[in-house]
């Protein structure tokens, strides 16, 4: 598990990245993130939903209630908006620049 | 089982607007049902599966806190902006916490206390008057006396020269709090004011003396600050005016700087409390800060002498975090300032001549930044933060 601050600082990047692949509902997002990161990221569901709503308020994702394939109560599927795609692209570039700078520091030893 | 689920949904969306509440409840319900079904597939009965699912979702209060930040805080911010606007136009808004007032303290602004054009204001009904500069916050002693006596505080003044020396005996205090006007001689303006308007005490002097009487001091709230001195509690506002009490917080918080810059007293360091008092952030940023590492920032607990002081975290303001530490020190202070303060700091002060008077605050900032440069303090602007959580 990454440091909490590290995770929090990159939460938007993680969520936007996973939603870039396809639309998903909250529970599905946590599972996919966990699976694709080989259990490195494990979200608390309690903090996931506010984060999704924050991104939705910011216009980076949009949500729509639909009945899931297995039936039952409808769930809210989230997908990236155009703004979200731009935000993801910016965040990805920022992250890569940061990552690269840190690696340079290590390589300079 | 139904009751457990509906209670969870209710708690998770408490306080949200009705439409949003229903929407979020619906969303959570759908996801909880799916997770619960998965647990049933694994062999749990319905009740166990629901409990396990809710456990995975975490405390409903946490969801609620997160949603509140998303949906309620912006509304509050907008309203605060409106309130500030109305206030600046002279339109008072009745404090919603009026009913909780234990004792109101009213006062008036001594003539010429402020140097920014608000000079001749009198009887404006505020106990604490924030003015330009750090020293324009005064409390009206007769009002304070009238408020505290019904709470069991014995207040005496020198009969020959009323208010030149005032003694407050708080219940259970180890020693009395004595206010003498000669204590306030570090600024000429104060001496002048004492001559013209005896009966006022500088807020910071009053509070610092409170720290020495051997009772736990608590502060809570920002604009309608309640002060607890042992079991005696009073509030800093009149019925139709909220008041800002940044000086009280500042007075308490400076102890953090002694502690966390690894000095035990101001004389141990070039960076005395006096210096901290003088830089402009003391007025603009401290009130909204402050988190010291290893201290829970949600309800910031700071140590005031040997007592505890509770400062309610102000999470309504978008802030920047600065970290300050001594070179080679493992410890650091984080403090938060509003973006307008940051912009202020970004100005180019290098063009200033040494004695050029622009305004007091800017010169103070210049001195502050110079001090940082010359003495290798680190000042690191970090990302904007909106809220402090664990």
| pLDDT for the residue B274 | 24
| pLDDT for the residue A59 | 93
> Over chain A, what is the mean pLDDT?
88
Query: Which of residues B363 and B339 earns the better pLDDT score?
Result: B363
Query: Looking at the complex, does the CB of residue B29 fall below 8 Å from at least one CB of chain A?
Result: yes
Query: Which of residues B246 and B272 earns the better pLDDT score?
Result: B246
A-chain residue closest to B57, CA distance: A45
Query: Which of residues B364 and B220 earns the better pLDDT score?
Result: B220
Select the residue of A27, A51, A74 nearest B26 (Cβ to Cβ). A74
DSSP result, B252-297: HHHHHHHHHTT-SSGGGSSS-HHHHHHSTHHHHTGGG--EETTS-T
A-chain residue closest to B68, CA distance: A50
CB contact under 8 A, A45 and B31: yes
Measured between beta carbons, the chain A residues lying within 8 angstroms of B66 are: 46-47, 49-51, 53
CB contact under 8 A, B66 and A25: no
pLDDT tier at B115, thresholds 50, 70, 90: very low
CB contact under 8 A, A76 and B30: yes
Query: Looking at the complex, does the CB of residue B24 fall below 8 Å from at least one CB of chain A?
Result: yes
**The pair of three-digit structure tokens given for residue A51, joined into one six-digit string:** 């984060």
Q: How does pLDDT run across B195-242, given as a tens digit for each residue?
A: 445 566 766 667 777 777 877 766 665 455 667 787 888 765 544 444
Query: Which of residues B232 and B367 earns the better pLDDT score?
Result: B232
pLDDT reading at B104 higher than 70: no
CB contact under 8 A, B66 and A47: yes
Other CB atoms within 10 Å distance of the CB of residue B56: 18
Q: How does pLDDT run across B229-240, given as a tens digit for each residue?
A: 878 887 655 444
Q: How does pLDDT run across A4-23, given as a tens digit for each residue?
A: 777 777 889 999 999 999 99
Extract long-range pairs of B356-361: CB within 8 Å, 24+ residues apart: B360/B132, B360/B133, B361/B132, B361/B280, B361/B283
| pLDDT for the residue B179 | 82
Select the residue of A9, A50, A73 nearest B33 (Cβ to Cβ). A73
| pLDDT for the residue B293 | 24
CB contact under 8 A, A49 and B29: no
Measured between beta carbons, the chain B residues lying within 8 angstroms of A73 are: 26, 29-30, 33
Query: Which of residues B19 and B369 earns the better pLDDT score?
Result: B19
Q: How does pLDDT run across B159-180, given as a tens digit for each residue?
A: 776 777 889 999 988 899 988 7
Nearest to B289 by CA among B274, B275, B304, B300: B300
User: Contact B337/B289 with Cβ under 8 angstroms?
Assistant: yes
CB contact under 8 A, A53 and B67: yes
| pLDDT for the residue A20 | 94
Rounded-to-integer distance, Cα B163 and Cα B198, Å: 6
Best mean pLDDT range from A5-14, A74-83, B15-24, B77-86: A74-83
Rounded-to-integer distance, Cα A72 and Cα B367, Å: 65
| pLDDT for the residue A44 | 79
pLDDT reading at B305 higher than 50: no
pLDDT tier at B375, thresholds 50, 70, 90: very low
| pLDDT for the residue A61 | 95
CB contact under 8 A, A50 and B67: yes
Q: How does pLDDT run across B44-73, given as a tens digit for each residue?
A: 888 889 988 998 888 887 888 788 778 776
| pLDDT for the residue B231 | 82
Judge if the upstream peptide bond of residue B290 is cis by omega within 30 degrees of 0: yes
**The pair of three-digit structure tokens given for residue B323, joined into one six-digit string:** 């970290």
**What is the mean pLDDT of the segment spanning A48-54?**
92
| pLDDT for the residue A5 | 72
Measured between beta carbons, the chain A residues lying within 8 angstroms of B59 are: 46
CB contact under 8 A, B37 and A73: no
Rounded-to-integer distance, Cα B379 and Cα B373, Å: 9
Taking any CB pair shorter than 8 Å as contact, residues of chain A touching chain B are 9, 25-27, 44-47, 49-51, 53-54, 57, 63, 65, 68, 70, 72-76
Rounded-to-integer distance, Cα A4 and Cα B16, Å: 27
Strands (E) in B127-210, as ranges, are: 138-140, 154-157, 165-169, 177-180, 200-202
> Over chain B, what is the mean pLDDT?
53
| pLDDT for the residue B204 | 63
Query: Which of residues A27 and B255 earns the better pLDDT score?
Result: A27
* Sequence-distant (≥ 6) Cβ neighbours of residue B344 within 8 angstroms: B280, B284, B361, B362, B365
Nearest to B229 by CA among B97, B102, B98: B102
Q: What is the 3-state secondary structure (H, E, C) of B329-389?
A: CCCCEEEEEEHHHHHHHHCCCCCCCCCCCCCHHHHHHHHHHHHHHHCCCCCCCCCEECCCC
- In DSSP terms, which residues pair with A66 in a beta bridge? A75
């Amino acid at each position: 598990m990454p440091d909490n601050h590290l995770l929090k600082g990159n939460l938007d990047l993680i969520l936007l990245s996973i939603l870039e692949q396809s639309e998903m509902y909250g529970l599905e997002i946590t599972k996919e993130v966990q699976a694709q990161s080989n259990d490195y990221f494990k979200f608390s569901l309690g903090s996931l939903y506010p984060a999704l709503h924050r991104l939705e308020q910011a216009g980076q994702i949009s949500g729509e209630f639909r009945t899931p394939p297995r039936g039952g109560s409808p769930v809210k599927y989230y997908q990236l908006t155009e703004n979200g795609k731009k935000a993801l692209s910016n965040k990805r570039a920022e992250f890569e620049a940061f990552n690269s700078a840190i690696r340079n520091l290590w390589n300079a030893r | 089982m139904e009751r457990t689920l509906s209670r969870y949904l209710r708690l998770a969306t408490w306080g949200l607007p009705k439409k949003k509440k229903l929407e979020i409840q619906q969303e959570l319900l759908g996801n909880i049902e799916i997770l619960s079904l998965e647990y049933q597939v694994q062999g749990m009965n319905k009740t166990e599966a629901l409990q396990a699912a809710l456990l995975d979702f975490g405390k409903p209060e946490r969801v609620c806190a997160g949603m509140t930040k998303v949906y309620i805080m912006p509304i509050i911010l907008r309203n605060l902006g409106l309130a500030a606007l109305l206030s600046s136009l002279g339109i008072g808004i009745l404090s919603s916490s009026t009913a909780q007032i234990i004792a109101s303290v009213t006062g008036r602004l001594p003539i010429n206390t402020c140097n920014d054009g608000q000079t001749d204001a009198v009887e404006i009904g505020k106990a604490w008057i924030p003015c330009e500069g750090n020293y324009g916050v005064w409390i009206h002693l007769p009002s304070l006396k009238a408020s505290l006596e019904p709470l069991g505080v014995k207040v005496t003044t020198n009969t020959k020269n009323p208010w030149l020396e005032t003694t407050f005996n708080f219940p259970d205090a180890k020693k009395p709090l004595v206010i003498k006007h000669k204590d306030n001689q570090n600024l000429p303006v104060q001496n002048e004011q004492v001559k013209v308007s005896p009966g006022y005490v500088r807020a910071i002097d009053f509070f610092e003396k409170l720290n020495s009487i051997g009772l736990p001091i608590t502060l809570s709230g920002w604009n309608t600050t309640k002060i607890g001195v042992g079991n005696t509690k009073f509030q800093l506002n009149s019925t139709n005016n909220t008041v800002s009490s940044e000086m009280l917080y500042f007075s308490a918080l400076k102890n953090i700087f002694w502690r966390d810059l690894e000095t035990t007293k101001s004389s141990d360091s070039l960076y005395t409390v006096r210096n901290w008092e003088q830089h402009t952030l003391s007025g603009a940023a401290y009130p909204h800060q402050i988190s010291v590492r290893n201290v829970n920032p949600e309800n910031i607990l700071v140590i005031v002498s040997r007592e505890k002081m509770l400062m309610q975290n102000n999470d309504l303001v978008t802030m920047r975090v600065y970290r300050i530490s001594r070179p080679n020190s493992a410890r650091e202070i984080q403090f938060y300032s509003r973006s307008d303060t940051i912009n202020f700091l970004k100005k180019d002060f290098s063009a200033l001549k040494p004695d050029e008077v622009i305004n007091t605050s800017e010169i103070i900032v210049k001195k502050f930044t110079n001090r940082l440069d010359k003495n290798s303090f680190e000042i690191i602007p970090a990302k904007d933060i909106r809220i402090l959580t664990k």
